[in-house]
Structure 1
């Protein structure tokens, strides 16, 4: 299985970049993991939130294939403990999902078309985090999931 994380806009803070890179390197031991960064839209001051979401949706769809299993990171999605999330990833591997794609949306969330395409929605928390912080938290959780699945001592219950 391959896991892809699609994110909108580049990460600007070095401490987040360093943290994400740390976990991406660690993940290479467990799974084929990649990140796709879609450049932030330019000149958004003249766009409504809906127009911006539609433009972002067009860019997201260019990165997807028909066989991708798409999971949106969305505040209204299902919440998991780390162990439950590991089990959820394991179920996708057992179902022979070839490309598991997680998407972090833009500042206004996702366009309706993206919600319709998604197979699932998950939430990291009921709290709101910056899109840049979510990248670090989420990559760490994917790493944590694989250490749980391998029975390694990274996660403590």
Structure 2
């Protein structure tokens, strides 16, 4: 299976980059994982709603350019479905059984995702009602994908 993490902005913190690299390495025995970073827009501190919408639109255009026809797209959004690790594992297994060979997970920038990206997604997914830094979310997402593959392989990591 091919998995893309399409995300806004670059990770600046070394410890987060190291964690991302570690989970990509661990996942390599199960899937080919690519992290695709698109440029983020600078958001002024007290930006208007109109400016915020324009920023999300620009970031959304960049994301949409990387979403592939035929890929199953999962958009991380606070209003999405919340799943347990076991449920995510079951979904990934089910998607594979139904012929999905390319999964794309999308993580928006600090303002969230453009509505067009959410409409393109096959599934919105929420990890919590809380908000997480989008750089940290990459690590959390990769860890959960790794956990899902370990669960599906009946290996002990998830205990």
| TM-score range for the pair, normalised by the shorter chain length | over 0.9
- 1:16 is aligned to 16
The answer as to 2:150 corresponding to 1:131 is no
The answer as to 2:40 corresponding to 1:40 is yes
Structure 1 unaligned runs (5+)?
none
Does the 8 Å CA contact 2:39/2:59 hold for their aligned counterparts?
no
- Give the superposition deviation at 1:44: 4.1
Distance 1:115 1:98 in 2: 21
The answer as to 2:113 corresponding to 1:110 is yes
- 1:56 is aligned to 59
2:75 to 65, 72, 75: 72
3-state secondary structure, aligned to 1:75: strand
Distance 1:19 1:124 in 2: 18
Stretches of 4+ moved more than 6 A in 1? none
Report the TM-score when normalising by structure 1: 0.94
- 2:86 is aligned to 83
Deviations along 1:107-152, whole A, 9 cap, x unmatched?
1111121111111100111211111111111100000100000011
Distance 2:132 2:149 in 1: 23
Deviations along 1:73-92, whole A, 9 cap, x unmatched?
11111011111110011111
- Give the superposition deviation at 1:106: 1.1
Report the TM-score when normalising by structure 2: 0.93
Alignment coverage as a number of residue pairs: 155
